[in-house]
Structure 1
Amino acid sequence: MLRTLIATHQRFGLRAPFRIARGVKTAADVITVTIRQGAQEGRGEGVPYARYGETIEGALADIAAMAPLIERGGSRMDLSAAMAAGAARNAIDNALWDLESRIAGTSVATLADRPAPGPVASAITIAIDTLEAMETAAARAAAVPLLKVKVDRDNAAAQIAAVRAAAPAPRLIVDPNESWTMAEVVALQDLLVAHRVDLLEQPLPAGADGDLAGFASRVPICADESLHTAADLDALVGRYAYVNIKLDKTGGLTEALALVDAARTKGFGLMVGCMVCSSLGIAPALLIAGGAAFVDLDGPLWLADDRAGGVVDDGGMLSPPAPGFWGTPA
């Protein structure tokens, strides 16, 4: 069973700057892993994230260190035992799933004993900008099922109000990206309720989760940066109502599937999210999106040009990539 593993850095320009509370990006920098075995090859993608101490160079080095294990036939379980969760493992793990499906001549959904992915209502994200620009963006998306608004600490109330005024109908996620204090979470409760916010995503810095213990939020709160793998769940019980599962945090679909089951067992509602990435990063996440209450997989929609055959958005409904793109027979 001779394999070859190739990892490359690819950059996808964005159609507009993507601003959140801690910074702005104008391109998506991803790692693409290709694993070849005989006539078959599988692909996976990861997005190294500076917030978690990851870099493109570091991810490529970590993948190179795993290449001997994978090339001599190492499994996804071997990979999980040898490598920490994160973007580098995500790219390898999902490439292995894709390769397995092609060798078996069946879909990853079948191999994982999960329903085949179908269209899902995925959030359209309104990034931080001037209030006028955010209102304009929200007005363009006013007919979608789900919106997500990125906010900061200084102008959050006005940003939420502007988006809701322009888009009164969609369900609404508010994401401060760790920029609020507990005092602000408390002070903004009335405003969140008044603007019919459905979910408040990671308002506090990861590590400050204890401040939420015993707090009866009037809007459900979701852990994002505070959750990576199933090992993190116990510390979030009684503090968060939902958890946001991202494959770049879990280190691939393998751990994400286990995290879904563990989170449900512990009573958490599910959100499935992503980094700004191409459709190759989204295709595996769609395997777990169908059972989530909130889906936020619009990363490829920010790209000026996505990979050919990728996901398609139609009015906030995201359809899976074309057959043969990832994890399905052509």
Structure 2
Amino acid sequence: MSAAVMPRAGTARLSLHMAIEPLPLKTPFRISGHAFTAMPALDVVLDDGGHRGRGEAAGVYYLGDTPQAMWRTLEHHREALESGLDRDALQALLPAGGARNAVDCALWELQALRAGTSVAALAGTAPPRPLTTTFTIGADDPATVARRARDWTDARALKLKLDGEVDVDIERIRALRAARPEVWFGVDANQGYAPATIEPLLRALSDAGASLLEQPFARGREADLDGIDVAIDIAADESIQDLAELEARARHFDVVNIKLDKCGGLTEALAMERRARRLGLKVMVGNMLGSSLAAAPAFVLGQRCDLVDLDGPTFIARDRVPGVRYVDGAIDCPHRVWGGMPCA
């Protein structure tokens, strides 16, 4: 075993348990270039004989980071993972991505349970409060977009997925705003646009009073944004996966969407939030759909964020029990869902 993953003296060994959950969706979910009917996830449990830490990761589908690939990665490193490594050693052992995310979240919960406290307290976050979250509407026909916007009766913020068909996307934007003239809303282009097609979309967003445009151009084409006159905030999703990419690409964006599956867990996500602030960016927390077990660690990060997009469990046909709660357009995560016990 390398020095980087050597357990500290006296550290208890762990047992690693894994399972793949199919997580079918209630209805198909459409974005630019994809239609999802399920979002399978890898469940990880780390057991020290007295406490069990849990984590869930869907991975990053557009990078080939699947639950099956994550399973193989963790199986390959089983000896190191069961040695009793801590989160710092995990950062050295595994790269960013779903495998590290699942284990990192399990280690956070395990540490909190051992200490009789909460992950939020360990992370230096104030006692968690409910957070206004966006609720996402897929890239459906404009009539369906309008209907789903009205169905989210409690929503105070909506996010609309686009698919790059500019005329239809503009009609979707108009339909959402007509249905819900009072809500904050943003759009997620999921890399569906290019400089040659973006201008009509920008005009439509301005006319509709949109507040955010997420990932308009393809990953790797960030410099194309520099010549675009944009009156609303531009957010990076696919373009910025982890801390290293934040350093390299922050200058092209106003907002960074931090997802634990992308960056490899809550440990790196918290570091990204701190660095993004120093770089002058706003911070958003997002999810790759997923159940309440995935939303709960992101909820801890969300306490520090400007924008929260944690509606993933609302898409799952059968969520975890107990699970997160959605009330008055906000997400709340009781401590019994994940994350140890609240401080005394």
Partner of residue 328, structure 1: 340
State the 1:325 CA deviation.
Answer: 2.2
Partner of residue 224, structure 1: 237
State whether residues 143 and 167 of structure 1, in contact with CA within 8 Å, keep that contact through their aligned partners in structure 2.
Answer: no
State whether residues 11 and 29 of structure 1, in contact with CA within 8 Å, keep that contact through their aligned partners in structure 2.
Answer: yes
Partner of residue 171, structure 2: 158
Deviation sequence 1:274-310 (CA, Å, 0-9, x none): 0110000011111111222211000001111100011
CA distance in 1, matches of 2:314, 2:66: 23
Selected match of 2:124 from 104, 113, 131: 113
The letter of the residue matching 1:25 is F
- Across the aligned residues of Structure 1 and Structure 2, the Cα RMSD in angstroms comes to 1.3
Moved more, 223-232 or 137-146: 137-146
Partner of residue 144, structure 1: 155
Selected match of 2:222 from 205, 209, 213: 209
CA distance in 2, matches of 1:135, 1:291: 31
CA distance in 1, matches of 2:64, 2:53: 27
- The 3-state SS of whatever aligns with 2:248 is helix
The letter of the residue matching 1:28 is M
Runs (5+) with no aligned partner, structure 1: none
State whether residues 271 and 293 of structure 1, in contact with CA within 8 Å, keep that contact through their aligned partners in structure 2.
Answer: yes
- The 3-state SS of whatever aligns with 2:176 is helix
Moved more, 246-255 or 311-320: 311-320
- The 3-state SS of whatever aligns with 2:37 is strand
- Which structure 1 residue ranges, 4+ long, deviate > 3 Å from structure 2? none
State the 1:142 CA deviation.
Answer: 5.0
Alignment partner of 1:97 is 2:95: no
CA distance in 2, matches of 1:205, 1:264: 24
Partner of residue 286, structure 1: 299
Q: 1:197 to 1:87 in 2, by over 3 A?
A: same
Q: 1:112 to 1:291 in 2, by over 3 A?
A: closer
Query: How many residue pairs get matched?
Result: 329
Selected match of 2:272 from 255, 259, 262: 259
Deviation sequence 1:79-129 (CA, Å, 0-9, x none): 111111001110000001011111111111111111222200111111121
TM-score by length of 1: 0.96
Runs (5+) with no aligned partner, structure 2: 1-11
Alignment partner of 1:301 is 2:314: yes
Partner of residue 176, structure 1: 189
The letter of the residue matching 2:114 is I
CA distance in 2, matches of 1:14, 1:92: 24
Identical amino acids, percent of aligned pairs = 37
Moved more, 260-269 or 212-221: 212-221
Deviation sequence 1:260-281 (CA, Å, 0-9, x none): 0000000000111001100000
TM-score by length of 2: 0.93
State the 1:189 CA deviation.
Answer: 2.0
The letter of the residue matching 2:60 is Y
Selected match of 1:235 from 248, 254, 266: 248
CA distance in 2, matches of 1:224, 1:231: 14
State whether residues 290 and 313 of structure 2, in contact with CA within 8 Å, keep that contact through their aligned partners in structure 1.
Answer: yes
CA distance in 2, matches of 1:277, 1:304: 11
CA distance in 2, matches of 1:145, 1:43: 31
